[in-house]
């Protein structure tokens, strides 16, 4: 533990810390461009120069290891002069186009030149110009602005795991580019925009849209996958202009996936902003009162058993609970929050959670992936596995289709047969799990959405039980969900009641004409053709598949328009915050349900969201604390029995379009075109 | 610092692989590095590939070497573009590298440059239409004592001036292999006109 003095303040830092970190420890701010605490150290911008006693010249503090007894000075004339000089050099070739630069107002170079720069430039020669590079539909480049900090190169190589960015040539001719100027094929590519300290890499969809000081910033939570990334929604009026990450060390660190960041333009397209009722086979705009009348006329007097409700992937816990209570009031046991048909939930709580927690992955020393593509189902979980893989000698094996997950995976089999071999201890990987101190199994939601899903879950549980995956201080059993609503729905028991039908059952009953009405709460990933003769009430915010099949449309609020509770795949309770009101006549979903419950004669007993949330907590105490993960109890779940022979298939065939919001997004459509169409053409995978 | 000429149209080369002899050499080079550090062989391998492929590296060769060493293509391309010694576009049979750094410039590099321009009708970054000569400006070749210097492929021609440069080019044009080293007959970098010191008392 070296002790050193920074500007007269004595600090003690861990062995291996840098002088820059010691300065931060002492509360001294050091300007920097290339240094980033989650990336490797490059030491090429020289902005962090400090004076060290007995050193002949200033040292780059980001790359200089802190030593015992060092005396560092950051407020001397020498340091000031050094910073002035570095700034002047950086600005020598940097264009002064701040007025037309999208980074303006949130630019490190701008801020630091104000704080530490020279008050004039002495460079009278021509500035160099660099041709812009094509980096796909998400990243706009103006490479003349680049100061060659190489943060983007290090991010893509180290964190995203795609070795496609680099710096070509040298000296004055140095240029950052992607290999052959191909789009950066990573689900995390958007993060290079946040990392870029200047305006060289900016968001293409957001180009020339707004200035940072015009935006309303709302701290919220992402719902594009089940990770629950912490985000900041930047909006102007009723338009969400961009989504940025917030730091949450246990969830997303400071990254977010591209769908989280860029699907927000889907929030203003294909929106349902007024109620509709189907009259003579055609959807007609209606008032709320007319809509409620249409629902009452149809449902009143109907046998509760002939009514069903399915919650979609983006529903918040409050609205699911309101719908559940409404269905109970109508006497219907047919409710299900698993529109994909995953055989999960109902048993012990640990049976549907990512128990290890996302941050816990870093402690693991062996992982078995079962029927999952974490890179698409939860890019940040994948990034965490990669981080662990880089730092330790963790062994990762996979059962399912071969994929490029940005780290080495031993693909030991394609289907349940291999899983059974591991259960029986016949497969060598069983020994690896046994020998590991903190082994993990990650079961994908796709592997559970098969007809034998419950038995796959049971087999995974057997592995957990027999190979020591679950001990007193470690739970290595994980289900990786991909829908933001799923765990929340399971937590409040949005599952078929006594004698009730599940999703598949409802679809079948509807096909046979036995289900007369179905309430879809944002459920779009269904075969709606089965509901041809069923009265479909679609409550949601996008005119997607569900709305097309609807007889009544109740316009709801998207995640940026409501305060809704979501439970992430690891069981973390988080809440979105509304950044603006729902569009047009749309309302928050629980309010719609509360309002419609009265004419239906099953009035819900809550009038405010607080009362509803109180009821939610009464139902499940695990939902009481925000940003808290209540450990799941280990007990019975899954079933025994032989699994089918069919190999595991992956549930997502297009990462960029998985829900109504991303399907309505033009940016996501452009990504689909750029990344997936290309994949098919060249025949390379991953 | 002058960058490599990027504007030259690069013909598309479908594929590249080492000849059996070069493959053997490549394996020997790779074997010099400890296990897990094979990527250190990237520079000698690029050089080997360049020698095999008319003194320039097509993208196919870069990708071949990336695969050969298990590296990302981008990392190999970074190395290949960083060093001026790797040619990423076709060059002439005689690739002239004219040193224009201060010592050579003071000793008449401009005259050497003019002679080349006059004789060949090309300037830096260009190739003669017959593909025989190409010319490139480089920084210090490390032969300042015998400045000015032209490097032709692997050989240095030193102590050049206008007429001797023209004579050199004439010989090259005829595919004669002129003696490399000082064109005014200096031995190594010994003084011009023979020994200047320790010349007395050497009779017996």
Residue A252 touches partner B, C-beta closer than 8 Å? no
The answer to whether A268 touches A396, Cβ cutoff 8 Å, is no
Burial call B97-117: b when 16+ CB within 10 Å, e when fewer: bbbbbebbeebbbebbbebbe
State how far residue B47 is from chain A, nearest Cα, in angstroms: 17
Fold designation for B94-182: Glutaredoxin (3.40.30)
For β-strands A9-12 and A3-6, DSSP reports them as antiparallel
Asked if B72 and A164 come within 8 Å (Cβ–Cβ), the reply is yes
- In this prediction the pTM is 0.93
DSSP symbol at A473: T
Residue B187: what pLDDT? 86
Question: Which residues of chain B have a CB within 8 Å of the CB of A157?
Answer: 72
Write the DSSP symbol of residue A253.
B
**B59 to chain A: nearest residue by CA?**
A180
**Which residues does chain A have within 8 Å of residue B77's beta carbon, measured at their own beta carbons?**
166, 168, 179
Q: Could B77 and A166 be called an inter-chain contact, meaning their C-beta atoms sit closer than 8 Å?
A: yes
Regions of chain A short of the pLDDT cut 70 = 678-686
Residue A291 to chain B, least CA–CA distance (Å) = 59
Q: Is some CB atom of chain B closer than 8 A to the CB atom of A57?
A: no
Q: What is the DSSP letter of A173?
A: G
- Please report, for residues A540, A683, B32, the alpha-carbon distance to residue B12 in angstroms, rounded to integers and kept in the order given: 53, 21, 33
SS3 (DSSP) at A89: helix
- Kindly give the pairing relationship between strand A334-336 and strand A175-178: unpaired
- Report yes or no: A116 and A83 within 8 Å, Cβ to Cβ: yes
Q: How far apart are CA A350 and CA A608, in angstroms?
A: 31
Mutate to test the interface with A, among B81, B85, B136 (most CBs of A within 10 A): B81
Separation between Cα atoms, residue A256 and residue A243, nearest integer Å: 9
Q: Is A520 helix (H, G, I), strand (E, B) or coil?
A: strand
Q: How far apart are the first and last CA of chain A?
A: 44
User: Which of B4, B59, B78 comes nearest A167 by C-beta?
Assistant: B78
Task: Using a CB–CB cutoff of 8 Å, tell me whether A170 touches chain B.
Answer: yes
Q: Write down the pLDDT at residue A685.
A: 45
Pick out chain B residues at pLDDT < 70.
1-8, 201-204
**Chain A residues touching B59 at Cβ < 8 A:** 180
Distance from CA of A172 to the nearest CA of B (A): 7
pLDDT at B204 (0 to 100)? 52
Gap between the Cα atoms of A633 and A631, Å rounded: 7
Q: Which two tokens stand for residue A667?
A: 């940016």
Instruction: Check if the beta carbon of residue A520 is closer than 8 Å to that of residue A655.
Output: no
Report the C-alpha gap between B45 and B22 in whole angstroms: 9
Measure the CA angle with vertex A66, ends A65 and A67; round to 5°.
Answer: 110
Residue B75 touches chain A, beta carbons under 8 Å: yes
The answer to whether A299 touches A311, Cβ cutoff 8 Å, is no
Cα gap A397→A371, rounded to integer Å: 11
Helices (H), A202-278: 258-262
- Give every CB contact of residue B202 below 8 A, 6+ residues apart in sequence: none
Integer Cα distance of A340 and A523 in angstroms: 10
Its sign, for the CA torsion B106, B111, B114, B119, is negative
Does the distance separating the beta carbons of B78 and A172 come in below 8 Å?
Answer: no
User: How many residue contacts between A and B have a Cβ separation below 8 Å?
Assistant: 38
A50, β-bridge pairs? A59
Q: Which site among A153, A161, A173, A177 would you substitute to test the B interface, given the most B Cβ atoms closer than 10 Å to its Cβ?
A: A173
| Contact assessment for residue A650 and residue A444, using Cβ atoms and an 8 Å cutoff | yes
Domain ranges of chain B: 20-82, 94-182
Q: Name the residue with tokens 């983007």.
A: A152
pLDDT digits (tens, 9 = 90+) for B91-122: 999 999 999 999 999 999 999 999 999 999 99
* Contact list, B72 vs chain A (CB under 8 Å): 157, 163-164, 179
Q: Please give the pLDDT value at position B195.
A: 81
Residue whose tokens read 């009026």: A237
Is A468 strand, coil or helix? Answer: coil
Class of domain B20-82: mainly alpha
Contact call for A169 and B77, based on CB within 8 A? no
Distance CA A582, CA B161 (A): 81
DSSP character at residue A674? I
Q: Hunting for tokens 């000849």 — which residue is that?
A: B19
Contact (CB, 8 A) for A443 and A478: yes
Q: Do A163 and B82 touch (CB under 8 A)?
A: no
Report pLDDT for B4.
Answer: 44
Residue among B1, B3, B77 whose CB faces A179 most closely: B77
Residues of B in contact with A165 (CB under 8 A): 74
**CA dist., res. A421 & res. A409, Å (int):** 18
B3 interfacial to chain A (CB closer than 8 Å): yes
Q: What is the pLDDT of residue A683?
A: 44
B72 and A163 within 8 Å at the Cβ level: the answer is yes
Nearest C-alpha neighbor of A434 from the set A477, A465, A408: A465
Q: Do B82 and A169 touch (CB under 8 A)?
A: yes
CA distance A163 to chain B (A): 6
Would an 8 Å CB–CB cutoff place A163 in contact with chain B? Answer: yes
Structure tokens of B179? 């003696």
pLDDT of residue B7: 54
Chain B environment of A169 (Cβ under 8 Å): 3-4, 81-82
Chain A residues close to B1, C-beta within 8 Å: 170-173
């Amino acid at each position: 533990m070296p002790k050193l003095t920074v500007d007269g303040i004595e600090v003690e830092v861990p062995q291996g810390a840098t002088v820059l970190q010691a300065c931060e420890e002492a509360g001294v701010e050091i300007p920097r461009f290339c240094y980033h605490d989650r990336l490797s150290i490059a030491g090429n911008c020289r902005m962090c120069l400090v004076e060290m006693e007995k050193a002949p010249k200033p040292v780059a503090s980001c790359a200089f290891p802190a030593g015992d007894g060092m005396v560092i000075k950051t407020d001397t004339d020498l340091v000031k002069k050094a910073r002035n000089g570095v700034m002047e050099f950086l600005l020598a070739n940097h264009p002064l186009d701040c007025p037309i630069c999208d980074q303006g107002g949130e630019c490190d170079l701008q801020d630091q030149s104000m704080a530490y720069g020279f008050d004039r430039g002495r460079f009278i020669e021509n500035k160099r110009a660099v041709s812009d590079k094509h980096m796909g539909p998400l990243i706009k480049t103006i490479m003349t602005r680049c100061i060659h900090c190489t943060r983007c190169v290090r991010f893509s190589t180290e964190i995203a795991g795609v070795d496609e960015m680099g710096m070509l040539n040298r000296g004055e001719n140095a240029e950052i580019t992607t290999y052959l100027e191909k789009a950066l094929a990573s689900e995390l590519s958007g993060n290079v925009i946040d990392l870029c300290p200047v305006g060289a890499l900016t968001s293409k969809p957001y180009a020339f849209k707004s200035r940072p000081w015009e935006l309303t910033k709302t701290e919220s939570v992402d719902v594009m996958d089940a990770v629950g990334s912490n985000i900041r929604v930047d909006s102007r009026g009723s338009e969400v202009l961009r989504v940025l990450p917030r730091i949450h060390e246990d969830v997303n660190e400071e990254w977010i996936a591209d769908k989280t960041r860029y699907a927000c333009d889907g929030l203003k397209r294909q929106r349902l902003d007024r109620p509709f009722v189907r009259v003579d086979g055609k959807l007609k705009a209606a008032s709320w009162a007319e809509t409620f009348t249409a629902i009452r006329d149809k449902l009143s007097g109907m046998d509760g058993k002939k009514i069903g409700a399915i919650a979609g992937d983006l529903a918040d816990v409050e609205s699911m609970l309101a719908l559940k209570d409404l269905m109970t009031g109508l006497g219907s046991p047919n409710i299900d929050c698993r529109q994909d048909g995953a055989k999960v939930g109902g048993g012990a709580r640990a049976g549907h959670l990512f128990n290890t927690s996302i941050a816990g992955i870093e402690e693991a020393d062996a992982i078995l992936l079962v029927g999952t593509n974490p890179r698409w189902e939860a890019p940040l979980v994948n990034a965490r596995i990669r981080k662990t893989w880089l730092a330790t000698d963790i062994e990762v094996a996979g059962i399912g289709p071969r994929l490029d997950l940005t780290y080495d995976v031993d693909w030991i089999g394609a289907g349940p047969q291999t899983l059974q071999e591991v259960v029986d201890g016949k497969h060598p990987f069983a020994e690896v799990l046994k020998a590991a101190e903190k082994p993990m199994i990650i079961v994908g939601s796709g592997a559970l959405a098969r007809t034998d899903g419950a038995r796959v879950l049971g087999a995974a549980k057997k592995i957990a039980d027999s190979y020591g995956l679950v001990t007193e201080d470690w739970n290595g059993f994980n289900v990786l969900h991909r829908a933001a609503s799923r765990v929340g729905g399971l937590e409040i028991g949005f599952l078929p009641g006594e004698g009730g039908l599940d999703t598949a059952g409802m679809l079948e009953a509807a096909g046979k004409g036995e289900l007369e009405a179905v309430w879809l709460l944002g459920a779009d990933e269904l075969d709606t053709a089965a509901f041809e003769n069923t009265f479909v009430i679609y409550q949601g915010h996008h005119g997607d598949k569900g709305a097309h099949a609807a007889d009544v449309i109740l316009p709801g609020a998207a995640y940026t328009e409501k305060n809704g509770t979501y439970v992430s795949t690891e069981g973390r309770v988080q809440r979105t915050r509304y950044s603006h009101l729902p569009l047009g006549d749309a309302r928050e979903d629980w309010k719609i349900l509360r309002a419609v419950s009265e004419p239906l004669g099953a009035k819900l007993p809550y009038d405010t969201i607080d009362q509803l949330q109180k009821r939610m907590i009464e139902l499940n105490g695990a939902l009481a604390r925000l940003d808290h993960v209540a450990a799941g109890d280990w007990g019975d779940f899954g079933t025994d029995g032989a699994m089918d022979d069919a190999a595991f298939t992956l549930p997502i065939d297009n990462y960029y379009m998985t829900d109504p919001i991303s399907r309505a997004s033009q940016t996501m459509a452009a990504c689909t075109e750029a990344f997936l169409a290309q994949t098919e053409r060249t025949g390379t995978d991953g | 610092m002058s960058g490599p000429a990027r504007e030259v149209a690069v013909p598309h080369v479908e594929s590249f692989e080492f000849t059996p002899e070069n493959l053997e050499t490549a394996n020997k080079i790779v074997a010099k590095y400890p296990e897990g550090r094979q990527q250190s062989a990237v520079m000698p391998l690029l050089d080997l590939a360049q020698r095999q492929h008319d003194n320039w590296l097509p993208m196919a060769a870069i990708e071949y070497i990336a695969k050969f060493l298990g590296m990302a293509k981008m990392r190999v391309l970074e190395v290949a573009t960083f060093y001026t010694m790797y040619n990423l576009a076709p060059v002439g049979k005689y690739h002239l590298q004219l040193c224009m750094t201060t010592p050579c410039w003071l000793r008449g590099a401009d005259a050497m440059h003019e002679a080349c321009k006059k004789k060949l009708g090309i300037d830096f970054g260009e190739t003669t239409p017959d593909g025989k000569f190409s010319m490139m400006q480089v920084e210090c070749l490390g032969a300042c004592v015998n400045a000015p210097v032209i490097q032709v492929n692997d050989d240095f021609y030193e102590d050049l001036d206008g007429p001797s440069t023209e004579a050199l080019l004439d010989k090259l044009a005829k595919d004669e292999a002129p003696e490399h080293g000082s064109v005014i007959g200096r031995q190594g970098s010994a003084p011009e006109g023979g020994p200047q010191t320790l010349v007395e008392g050497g009779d017996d």
